Structures are given as C-alpha cells and as structure tokens.
Amino acid sequence: MAQDYPLTPAHRLQLAAAFRSCPRVDTAIECAIEGQLGRAFVDDVQHPTAYAITVGPFWYFAGDPASAGGAALMRGLPAYALLMPSTIGWHERAQAEFGAGLRSHQRFSFDTDQLAVAPLEALLARSRHNEQVLGLDPTLIGPLTSGADALLDVSDFESVADFLERSFGYTLLLGGTPAGIAYGSLVNSRGLEVSVFIAEPYRRQGIATALAGRLVLECLRRGLRPNWDAANPESCALAEKLGFTPAGSYVASHQV
C-alpha cells in the first residue's frame, strides 16, 4: 500500500538519490525534489524500497520494481494517470500489474540549445497578435481559472496567489474573452514547464505562436530553461517554429 512521503529535506535527498538515473522528459521530478510542487509516495516510510513522484496526472517511479512494495506501489497508479519514463523495470512492472489494460502512446521531447532571443523577437514582431498579449495578473487570472471552460489549472499550486508569485504566463483577449493562455505549469529553480491552451474558436489563427513565443522569450530573458514536452503533431510544429530542436520520443502509458 502506498504511503505518503512528505517532502521534508531528508526525504528530498532520498528521492534525489532514488531518481538519479530516471530519464528527465519534463521538470516534474526536479519540482518534487526541490519541494516546489507535487507529492511523493513510498512502500514503507521507514525503510522504502520503491518510490513514486506525482505532479498532476503524471507519475514517475524509482527503486525496486520487483519488490512486493514495488508491486503495491504500482497498483496505486490511478486509472488514466500517465505513467511517465521511470527507472529500469517499472514499465515491465506496470505490464505485469495491468496487462491488456495498459495503453501506451508516444510523446516528444525537445532541446533548448538553439533557442535565442533575437529570432523569437523577430517572430513575435511579425505576429498580428503581438500587441494584444497580456501578462497574467490578479485581474486577468480570475476568469481563466473559473467556470466549465477554464483555460488555466493552478491546482498543483497552493493558490492563485502562489501561482502568480512563483510562475508567470500570458493571455490574449478577443472581444473581452480569453482566447488562450501560455504559462509555466511546473516550476523549479532552473526553469519551467511550458503549457499552452487555445480555446477551440480561436485555434489556427497564430494565437498559440504569439502566447507561447512571449512565454519562451521571457524565460530566456530571465535565464530560465523552458521545457517543451509535446503530445501531438501540432505541439511539435509549434515547438520547432519557436526554435526548439527535436530530441526524440518516448512512451507514456495509462491504465484503464
């Protein structure tokens, strides 16, 4: 049975050691190790043999997948939560636990080495939406986080105020209605995770380029690394348009 593993300084050191060899496809593991966001679980708080980190719907595993504790920890993976790249043996552990109920899909990683301020500034200068982009503040963020059509999810943060203190983002209003958003959904001391969402009526109009471009540009100006993790071809195309370099793909899974 999974036991909560509070992100105390001692536990964070233990997690850092356990996840040292885990592939990094996003910033979630660092967020938890720094105590910024997320939760951790183990099979036994006093003598852990298996570890899990979760931020939002994303789960990462480390430790001994062949142990009884490892099996119990994997059985705690919620339905439809994403099993992300973990240390050796955990995907096989998931297959053993869930069998045909485990569904896999491909996601895509990108490098930031070729990102540069000047090309992004030039790209944004050509956008007809550039002057409409607004930085998130307490006034703008309210409509974005409420209602059935909310564009912004800050549930991994303590509050809206906590999000605004530790992260940042941009939106664009058309006729007073938020057309989309780009923001740092995960944060750590070195960078953030780029999240972009455009409301259905406003897609394929260059709004994603204007919003994501402004977010990535601000990251570079602040000396932060913007991580881009894509789940579909449209996200991949936008990443390359902004200057990210494809860095291969990986498999994520969920159980139904």
The predicted structure's pLDDT at residue 69? 95
Examine the domain organization and report whether 130 and 184 are in the same domain: yes
Interatomic CA distance for residues 152 and 132, integer angstroms: 18
Examine the domain organization and report whether 99 and 121 are in the same domain: no
Instruction: Supply the range of the domain harboring residue 87.
Output: 3-106
Residue 17 CB partners (closer than 8 Å, separation 6+): none
Q: What are phi and psi of 75, to 5 degrees?
A: -65, -20
Whether residue 20 is contained in a domain is answered as yes
Q: What is the full per-residue pLDDT of the chain (256 aa) written as tens digits?
A: 789 999 999 999 999 999 999 999 999 999 999 999 999 999 999 999 999 999 999 999 999 999 999 999 999 999 999 999 999 999 999 999 999 999 999 999 999 999 999 999 999 999 999 999 999 999 999 889 877 778 898 999 999 999 999 999 999 999 888 999 999 999 999 999 999 999 999 999 999 999 999 999 999 999 999 999 999 999 999 999 999 999 999 999 999 8
Residue count (the chain): 256
The predicted structure's pLDDT at residue 72? 94
pTM of the entire structure? 0.93
The predicted structure's pLDDT at residue 145? 86
Examine the domain organization and report whether 18 and 40 are in the same domain: yes
Examine the domain organization and report whether 101 and 119 are in the same domain: no
Whether residue 30 is contained in a domain is answered as yes
Whether residue 43 is contained in a domain is answered as yes
The predicted structure's pLDDT at residue 150? 82
Residue 101 CB partners (closer than 8 Å, separation 6+): 255, 256
Whether residue 179 is contained in a domain is answered as yes
Provide the number of structural domains found in the chain. Answer: 2
CATH code (residue 75)? 3.40.630
Whether residue 247 is contained in a domain is answered as no
Examine the domain organization and report whether 101 and 184 are in the same domain: no
Examine the domain organization and report whether 12 and 66 are in the same domain: yes
